[in-house]
Amino acid sequence: MNAPLEPARIPDDRISIEKRSDGTLLVRVRSESHNGHFLPDAVFSFRCGDPQYSYWITRLESQRIR
């Protein structure tokens, strides 16, 4: 049996996590420059019950501690 894959660790300086009033997490990953060109930022939302919600809420809480 294979262990579940862990998400790749994104450096904290490239992400912002916001918790909305309804509990939804909004995660924005800033793009990197490739030959001076930027792609649009990646934006994801997670609600309680989504498979990755606990991962992102943990990252949000660890950012608040710093």
pTM to 2 decimals?
0.75
The answer to whether 27 touches 44, Cβ cutoff 8 Å, is yes
What are the tens digits of pLDDT across the range 11-64? 778 899 999 999 999 999 998 877 888 889 999 999 999 999 999 999 999 887
pLDDT of residue 36: 84
Q: Please report the pLDDT score of residue 8 as a whole number.
A: 67
Task: Give the pLDDT confidence score for residue 10 in this predicted structure.
Answer: 72
Residues 6+ apart with CB under 8 A from 54: none
Looking at residue 66, its pLDDT comes to 63
- The amino acid sitting at 55 is Y
Written as six digits, the tokens of 53 are 């919600």
Task: Return d(Cα 14, Cα 37) in angstroms, integer.
Answer: 16
